[in-house]
Amino acid sequence: MERVPILKIGDILLVSIQVDMSDQTAVQLQDDLAERIVATGCHGVIIDITALDIVDSFVGRMLSTIASISKVLDAETVVVGMRPAVAITLVELGLSLNGIRTALNVERGMELIAAAHADERELAFEDEPDTETTASS
Amino acid sequence: MALSTEEGNRLAGLLTGHAERVMQRWTEIVAASLRGRLSQGELRRQVQELHSSMITAGEQGAVDLDSEQATELRAVLSELSRGRARQGFSASETAVSVFALKEVLLELMEDEDGPHTLRDYVAFSGLIDQMGLFTFESFVRTRESLIADQAEQLLELSTPVVKLWEGVVAVPLVGTLDSARAQVVMERLLQTLVDTGSPYAIIDITGVPAVDTQVAQHILKTVVAARLMGADCIISGIRPQIAQTIVALGIEFGDIATKASLADALRHVLRLTGVETGRRQRREA
């Protein structure tokens, strides 16, 4: 059985799907990913589907499931690299991949996750000066 | 209407025997119908080519226009009608160039009174009818291919995707948006988004004369497809009447940003990107 590799880059897990997804591969990927998110404590998951020529309802549902799992484990999921032809087909089919964030390429996806994460850090960062100012005054 | 081999030979003989007179009259009649829109020399050259290829066909025993011996004649005829179609002559003006030969032949054959004259004339004019129809058909084919070419060029010309700013592309739509064009626009826009890595696209509909439910549907599909790929679309250039039509038709643009002008849309996008950088700068300071 084929397995989809999961790569860790800094604070992000990168999943590049380059094989045809079967039921087993999908379940395996969900298991592996959940394990890795918990093990590494990453806050972002990027799923790269540049190599996918066909995205049907099955792959669509798999992406939604992965996004939901990651959400529960406090990681932001971004699907990147969708081809124009794939996007057109999805629209024609009426599948809108609800609840999934998308970006044009891996770079933009990383920016997106960094921005979402920066907001959280910013909150923590802004709390300190506030307490300092109140303490000094 | 087929010509017997003898009749074909007689036609060739007739055309060869009175070559100068035939061409003279033929050119005169055609020139009268074209009213000087084609130079005398050009016309004479065309008539000469037709004349000689008809003689060749007749001598080789061509029985009708579809036969193998008439290949050259067909080539000359289609060349003639292609030329006329491109120069903008009408179909009947083109066909008359061939049918004029009938009149010439009648004048010729009135003089000689043989046993075959009537039958010959009927057979000849049958051939000329065929030639006329052939000319007409190739004329129509040329015109159709011209129109198809122009339609394709129009499709290519009218859907450019332009880069407005770093990370912002725009599609100024001009003209009616039918399914074929919408498809081309959608594909080109999405491809440009991938190629340039732009996260923002502005669809400007200033040049779209009318927006009905179908056009709106096409635009919405494009926006949704762009979103799936991770880019945001803004619709701009909505004219007052179009805004009224959209509301009257009950078209919902949902949470898609719509702006009155392209400038507003660009300002909106820049603010979206600008706010982020602004906040970052403040944090650094």
CATH code assigned at A104: 3.30.750.24
B50-69 burial code (b ≥16 CB/10 A, e <16): bbbbbbbbbbbbbbbbebeb
CATH topology of domain B5-154: Globin-like (1.10.490)
Count of domains for chain A? 1
Task: Indicate the length of chain A as a whole number.
Answer: 137
Mutation to test the B interface, candidates A91, A97, A102, A107, most B Cβ within 10 Å: A91
Nearest CA-CA distance, residue B198 and chain A, Å: 8
Per-position pLDDT tens, chain B of length 285: 567 777 778 788 888 888 888 888 888 888 888 777 778 888 888 888 888 888 888 788 777 777 777 888 888 888 888 888 888 888 888 888 888 888 888 888 877 777 777 888 888 888 888 888 988 899 899 889 988 988 888 777 667 888 888 889 999 988 888 888 888 888 889 999 989 989 999 999 888 888 888 888 888 889 999 998 989 999 999 888 888 888 888 888 888 889 989 999 999 999 888 745 444 454 444
Write the pLDDT tens digit of every residue in A71-102.
888 888 999 999 998 998 888 888 877 778 89
Please judge whether A103 and B283 are an interchain contact, meaning their C-beta atoms are less than 8 angstroms apart.
no
* A14 is a domain residue: yes
Question: Would you say B101 and B29 are in contact if contact means Cβ atoms under 8 Å apart?
Answer: no
- Residue A116 and residue A111: Cα distance in Å, rounded? 9
- The amino acid that residue B77 corresponds to is L
Please judge whether B224 and A105 are an interchain contact, meaning their C-beta atoms are less than 8 angstroms apart.
no
| CATH number, span B162-284 | 3.30.750.24
Q: State which residues form the domain around A103.
A: 6-136
ipTM above 0.85, yes or no: no
